[in-house]
Structures are given as C-alpha cells and as structure tokens.
Chains A and B, each alone.
Chain A
Amino acid sequence: MPESPGDVRPVKKGLALRGLRELLLPRPRDTESVDAAGKGSLAVFGPPPETMADKRGRDFASFLRKVELFEELGDADLKRLAQIAHERSYRDGESIYEQGRPGIALFVLRSGIVEITRRKRNGHELPLATLEPPASFEELAAMGCDVVRWTSARARGPVTVVALGRPDLDALSRTAPLLANKLLRKLAEVTARRLQLLVEAQLSEGEERDPTDGPEKPPQRG
C-alpha cells in the first residue's frame, strides 16, 4: 500500500477531480523520487486549497455546496438535498462498501481519508485511489443502475461520509424533476471525466515506458 502521494502520473492540465488526493494507477516504477512525484501529483490532482471542505462543517447544505456534484445547485435545492442525505461515521479500517456487493448509495466524503481498492483474481488488493473531502464516489449507484460494486472502499482513520440513497433520489425525480435532472447531468459529467482521467493516466504510462517506439502501442491493462 503506497504511503505517499507519489504513485501518480501527470495528466493533462485542466482535467482534475475535486477531492482526488492521489490516483494510484498505473503502478510506479521509480519509488525513490517520491517527493518530486508527490509534488507533481498534487499540482495536477490536488484540489485547490480553497475548495477543500471544512471537515468540521456544521451546516449540511453549506458542505454540500462545496461538492463538485452539487456546485450548480441553488440554496433551496441544497436544502432539499440535505433532507434526503444520511451522515455515516466509520472507524479506521472499516469497510464502507465491498467489491462484488450491490450498491444503492453514492457517497460524499465529509471528513477523513478513504482508500479505494480493487481485489484481483489472486486475492491481492490493488490500491486505486485515495480520496479526501469533498470527493464523491460510487455515483453509478445513484444513477438508477443495478450496480455491483467493482471496487472496495475502506476508511483510513476516522471517516465521515454523506450518503445519498437511490430510492430517495428516485423520489426526488418525482417531486423535484428539475433538481434531479441537474444532478443526473452532473453525475454523468463526473463519471465521464473520471473515465477520461484513467485513460489519460494509462496512456501517459505507455508513452513514458517506451518513448522511442515508433508506433504507439496500446496501453496494457493492469
């Protein structure tokens, strides 16, 4: 398990996700230049200091305002969203969700650090990312799909998350369809951006590995 934010590859500027503390794929080849890589990763992936959520935020709605998913929502919409949100606290090492299980909620990290991992066929846990506030994760579970989690999430230290359940969001689509529409669009945008980030990371690794090769080889799957 990488301890420092050095396991990252720089990607295109402007392509960032709020709260993505470190992207742990692809695997690092040079672990001696952690500090330099860490600085580089923070410059690319780390959220601007002013967008980091207040870990002790008292007002739910004001916390939700800082989340990328909800940045386009007005005060009334945020208040309505706060009515269907559930705050959950997890101990160090406690599982938030597990790979292979169904999922019905999306999570927004309010305080603490969450580690995203994927279990390989041989049983080894492959770390994928660590998240810090105000990151959101498992958005697909809220988009009306029958989701089976493809990763696991575990608390690193005490963690507080805000969970939004799919049934409550479905009910919201009936009572406040405009709000539900805004959320869905934002969810789709975040999901697409996350996919692009991962693909760019994979391509960057491919280029770095053998920059002298003429034709570009397709990125190898991890």
Chain B
Amino acid sequence: MAPRSRPSAVEVVFESFAAVAGAVLGIWLLWGIRSLILPVAVGALLAYICYPLVTGLERYRVTRGLAITLLFLVFLSAATLVVSLVRSGVSTEIRTLNFKTRLLHKVNERYQDLMGLDSSPRGTPLYRFVHEDVDPIVDRVNRFLALTPEERARFLEAHTRPDRPADSDVLLAYDRANFEALQRRGLASSSGGGVRDVPSSSVTRPPAHREKTPLAALARILSTWIVAPTVFLFLLRDTGEIKRAFLRLVPNRLFEPTLEVLADLDRALGGYLRGVFLECVLLGLALAVLFVAVGIPILWAVALGFLAGATNVIPYVGSAVALLVGLTYTFLAGEIHPLLPMVKAESVAIWLVVGVLLVELLKNVALEPLVLGGAAKLHPLVVVIGVLGGGILFGLPGLLLAVPTITILKAFVSSASLQLKAYGLV
C-alpha cells in the first residue's frame, strides 16, 4: 500500500477552520435548543432505566412493541393515579379557599410568634436584624395567599349558610385574623379582600409569571416536555440501530477500543442510574412510612414521600426536602394525630427530625451499598462541587444532570485512556 502523502498547510488550515466552525455551529445550535436539553435527558435516562424491563419481557417472548406499550400504560396509570389523588385532595373551589385561608393564618401566626411581634411592635432582636429582608417575602406570601374580594365573598357565603361545614367557625376566625394582618401590612383592599392586583411599595416589580395565562404556560410546558415521552418511546424501540450508526462513523483502528469504552460506559451509567432509581423509590417509601407514623394523613404522606424520593436524584437533597416538607406540613396543619404512642402532637417536629435522620442513616449504611454497590462511586466532594456548579451554571437542569454527567465523564476518561493504551494507540 502506497504511503499516504502528508497534508499540505492549506489542507491543515482548512480542516482546522472547518472543525472550529463545526464546533461553534454545534454549540450555537445546542444553545438555541437548550430548553429541550432537560426533557431529552429525562426521556433518555428513563429509557435507559427501563431498558432491562423491556428486554426482560422479551425473554418471555413478549414482543418489544407490546413490552413498550405495557410499560407506557403502567406509567400513564401511575401518573393518572397521582393526578387524581392530588385533585381529590383539593377537588372543590371551597376546599382551595379553605386551604389558603388556613395556610395564610398559620404563616402569619408563626411569623408573629417567631419575631415576637405579639408582645412588642419592635419585635425581638432577631426581627430587628432581619425584618428588612424578610418582611417583603412575607408580604409577597400574604399577597399570594390572600383571597380576592370575589373569592372572599364566596368563602363567607359558604361558611355562613345554614348547611355550613363543622369547622366553619374556626375558618371564619382565621379569615378575620387574616384580614387584620393584611390591614396591618397595608395590603388590604377597601372592598375587603386580598390585594393581589395592587402593588405594595415594598415590592420592586410584579411577579413575571402573572403576565402569562395558565393556558399559555401549560402550552409552553407541553411543547417542550412532549419531547420527553417521545424520546423515551423511540429509545426503547431501538434495537441497536443507534449504536451501529455511531460505530459506522468510527475508524477501523478505533472500532474495538470504542466497543470496549461503550461497554464500560453502559456498565457504569446503567448501574448507577438503576441503583439511584431504586434508592429513590425505597427512600420515598421509608419516608412515607415515617410521615404516616408521625400523624400525617396517608395521602399527604405518600405525596410528600414521593416528592422527597424524587428529589433524591440530586444528592443530599432528598432528606433535606423530606425535612422541609414534613416540618412545613406539621407547621401548617390544623391537627396532628401521631400513630406512635410516644410521639406527642407538641413534639412532632422533633420526632420528624429524628426520623428523617434515621432514614438518611439507613440510606447511607444499607441502601446505598446494597443498591448502588460500586457503581460509579464518586467522591462526596466531587458530588457536592459538581451539583453546586451544575446548579450555578445551568439551574435546575444542572442540578439534576450533574451527577450522571460526572459519572459518564469519569467512566469515559478512565476507559478511553485504558483502551487507547491497551490497543497501542497512544
């Protein structure tokens, strides 16, 4: 075979320029479609997690199409169940108004207690230290939760008629207290309701989300997130075409090293993702049991446990969210009836903290070693810096995708360097 002649300077310059232009174009395109990155990544990761289920069903002679359909139906059923449970929790407008009234009262009551504003208008030293920063936030919460004059009229009508609910007196007392609080803050309207549409002097600008209608916001979300189930379905349908197409682009001398690297990446990422998914499910279940034990109603316990389990994809956040949502619920709920005899209503918060810490310990000592094993073990410092850096650079997508990205990069770099040396390419 005749030796290949060395490329000329013009060819080198042209190829370099083409490579740089291609890279810039790629980055520009990626930036343009950045809103699709998270839905695509979520769809792809879910497909990766569910792939063994589909291949497992194929082993029992279920065709791939049927297996995917079954999986999709399971997800759809689960989503429908969750939505119907949430809706049944707040199914009527009056329930929504009751909830907002109760919530606003609790927020103001706890704030007054914490800052000592009941006993003295100057409040505690803590209040004097933070009120300039915290008062606007509390104003914003009040404005958000306060009922409009029309809503308040419907609320009062529902709780003053003869067939009113049993807790109407309590709710009416909350409503009066809320109105007084709004008046104290200068947020009450003259017609006797909330002030959502009247800006306060302590607010610098109106919230941006109120400029769009709910329908427009829903359309915007659907138009991007419709990609996720589409990617999910098509990746599950793939029987190796994507891998074959990618390998066709690889030169012959890199063919076997690339096969090895892809296999290592598959092992690392697959093991990590499936392990994390299982860990999130188990953690969510454990937290749901804990919430039920401290007296949170079962529907709320399942919902909060699901939320905490889902947020566990971001390391260290799951337990923090569990603590936050659990404490928020106990803080705002009317009455708590703990199941465990040693847990009293007054000390629910303490037991909740202890319980979440125990679950976190269980996760670290038992769940992680069993479920994750040695899959893509990352140093905790790398995880913390990676997650924080991802969040700073890319917001929520960065938080969610930081650890999988670091896992892929780590596996790729270590495998590629090993294979290139083994095959004598470096």
Q: Are B1 and A167 in contact, with the CB atoms below 8 A? A: no
Chain B residues within 8 Å of A177, by CB: 59
> Which of B59, B252, B259 has the most chain A CB atoms inside 10 A of its CB?
B252
Question: What 0/1 readout, one digit per residue, does chain A (90-125) give for beta carbons within 8 Å of chain B?
Answer: 111111111001111100000000000000000000
The stretch from B5-13, B83-91, B260-268 touching chain A is: B260-268
- How many chain A residues sit at the interface, stated as a range, is 20 to 34
Q: Are A105 and B252 in contact, with the CB atoms below 8 A? A: no
* Bound-state Cα–Cα, A19 to B262, Å: 31
Known: A174-B55, A175-B58. A101 touches B255 (CB 8 A): no
Majority SS at the chain A contact face: mixed
- Knowing that A93-B1, A96-B252, A166-B259 touch, tell me 12 more A-B residue pairs with CB under 8 angstroms: A88-B252, A89-B252, A95-B253, A101-B422, A101-B424, A104-B259, A165-B256, A167-B263, A167-B266, A174-B59, A175-B59, A177-B59
Kindly state whether residue A15 has any CB partner on chain B within 8 Å: no
From the candidates A83, A92, A97, A171, name the one contacting B256 in the complex (CB within 8 A).
A97
Kindly state whether residue B239 has any CB partner on chain A within 8 Å: yes
Using a CB-CB cutoff of 8 Å, which residues 14-70 of chain B contact chain A? Answer: 55-56, 58-59
Kindly state whether residue A86 has any CB partner on chain B within 8 Å: yes
* Bound-state Cα–Cα, A41 to B262, Å: 42
Known: A86-B255, A176-B59. A104 touches B260 (CB 8 A): yes
User: What is B's interface to A at a CB cutoff of 8 Å?
Assistant: 1, 55-56, 58-59, 239-240, 244, 247-248, 252-253, 255-256, 259-260, 262-263, 266, 422-424
* Bound-state Cα–Cα, A72 to B256, Å: 27
Kindly state whether residue A84 has any CB partner on chain B within 8 Å: yes
Chain A residues within 8 Å of B253, by CB: 95
Chain B residues within 8 Å of A176, by CB: 58-59
Chain A residues within 8 Å of B255, by CB: 86, 88, 105, 163
From the candidates A92, A98, A175, name the one contacting B1 in the complex (CB within 8 A).
A92
Q: Are B424 and A98 in contact, with the CB atoms below 8 A? A: yes
Q: Are B423 and A101 in contact, with the CB atoms below 8 A? A: yes
Q: Are B256 and A167 in contact, with the CB atoms below 8 A? A: no
Question: What 0/1 readout, one digit per residue, does chain A (157-170) give for beta carbons within 8 Å of chain B?
Answer: 00000010111100
